[in-house]
């Protein structure tokens, strides 16, 4: 196991991020999203104030009004989930920058608030039932429950309070639980916490992706059936055989006629 690096207190690391989140760059980024100048320190603002600045005038952020929220922040709105996610993935906002952190927090609050429309209904109950262990699985119902238990109506919590909860509960604690879930000694952990202190282990995982564990098996089956074959240049790529093309065409025609 790599040696532990010098300790860094939880709160001091948050304060460092907090000072960065007070920057003019964050205010300018939010102003670009809203199309208007944002007054005040982002960390001391609340989701309610931000959404009101975006034109939402009458809605409750927790138990009522999510239908109105859903209509206002529709698919094309600059604060809709798709737009915010694209900003993090493809825009000028680096995900690890202060602007990226602010964007991620806003994205999380938009997602959770929109979900309250289905909370307690058939869809919401199905999604809530998909969570077996709240410290191993992260779903929107789990996040919503933590927000409600911590703040009641989370729209009136400051972004600072929300950031502290999300980082502590869904980054630090969740990371530690999952690292011991993967290997018994926690050797996959990037850090450990001891009495409010984070000890970095000097590890980095820069290329973390979620693959499809069944894909290779599916390709192998298609290969065995002579529907797919390896490309002639020897690269790890497959292409449809003539029979595969006929089979695909027939399947698509059948779907169109169904």
CB-CB contact of 224 with 230 (8 Å): no
Query: How far is the C-alpha of 28 from the C-alpha of 99, rounded, in Å?
Result: 9
Where along the chain do its domains lie? 7-200, 215-257
- Three-state DSSP at 203 gives coil
Total-model pTM: 0.68
Query: How far is the C-alpha of 118 from the C-alpha of 134, rounded, in Å?
Result: 19
Task: State the first-to-last Cα distance of the chain, in angstroms, to the nearest integer.
Answer: 58
Which is nearest to 55 in space by CA: 29, 35, 39, 27?
35
Query: How far is the C-alpha of 76 from the C-alpha of 71, rounded, in Å?
Result: 11
Per-residue confidence (pLDDT) for residue 11, from 0 to 100: 42
Per-residue confidence (pLDDT) for residue 159, from 0 to 100: 92
User: Going residue by residue through the chain (258 aa), what tens digit of pLDDT does each one get?
Assistant: 333 344 343 443 443 455 677 778 888 888 888 888 887 788 889 999 999 888 887 666 555 567 788 888 888 888 999 889 988 888 777 667 888 889 999 999 999 999 988 888 888 888 888 888 887 788 899 999 999 999 988 999 999 999 989 988 888 888 888 877 777 777 777 777 777 677 777 776 665 555 677 888 888 888 889 898 877 665 556 788 999 999 989 888 887 775
- Alpha carbon distances (Å) from 180 to 7, 55, 189: 20, 45, 8
Per-residue confidence (pLDDT) for residue 58, from 0 to 100: 67
Per-residue confidence (pLDDT) for residue 63, from 0 to 100: 53
Q: Summarize pLDDT for 104-162 with one digit per residue, the tens.
A: 999 999 999 999 888 888 888 888 888 888 877 888 999 999 999 999 889 999 999 99
Per-residue confidence (pLDDT) for residue 211, from 0 to 100: 66
């Amino acid at each position: 196991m790599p040696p532990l690096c010098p300790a860094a207190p939880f709160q001091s690391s948050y304060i460092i991020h907090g000072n960065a989140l007070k920057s003019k760059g964050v205010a300018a980024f939010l102003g670009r999203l809203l199309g208007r100048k944002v007054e005040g320190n982002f960390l001391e603002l609340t989701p309610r104030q931000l959404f009101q600045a975006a034109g939402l005038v009458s809605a409750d952020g927790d138990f009522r009004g999510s239908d109105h929220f859903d209509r206002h922040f529709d698919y094309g709105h600059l604060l809709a989930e798709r737009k915010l996610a694209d900003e993090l993935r493809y825009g000028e906002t680096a995900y690890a920058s202060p602007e990226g952190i602010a964007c991620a927090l806003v994205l999380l609050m938009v997602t959770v608030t929109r979900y309250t429309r289905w909370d307690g209904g058939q869809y919401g109950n199905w999604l809530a039932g998909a969570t077996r262990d709240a410290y191993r699985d992260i779903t929107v119902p789990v996040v919503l429950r933590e927000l409600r238990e911590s703040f009641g109506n989370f729209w009136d919590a400051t972004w600072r309070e929300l950031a502290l909860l999300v980082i502590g509960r869904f980054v630090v604690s969740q990371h530690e639980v999952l690292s011991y879930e993967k290997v018994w000694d926690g050797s996959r952990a990037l850090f450990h916490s001891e009495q409010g202190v984070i000890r970095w282990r000097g590890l980095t995982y820069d290329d973390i992706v979620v693959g499809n564990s069944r894909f290779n098996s599916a390709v192998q089956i298609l290969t065995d059936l002579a529907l797919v074959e390896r490309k002639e240049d020897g690269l790890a790529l497959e292409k449809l055989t003539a029979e595969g093309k006929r089979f695909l065409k027939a399947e698509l025609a059948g779907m169109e006629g169904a």
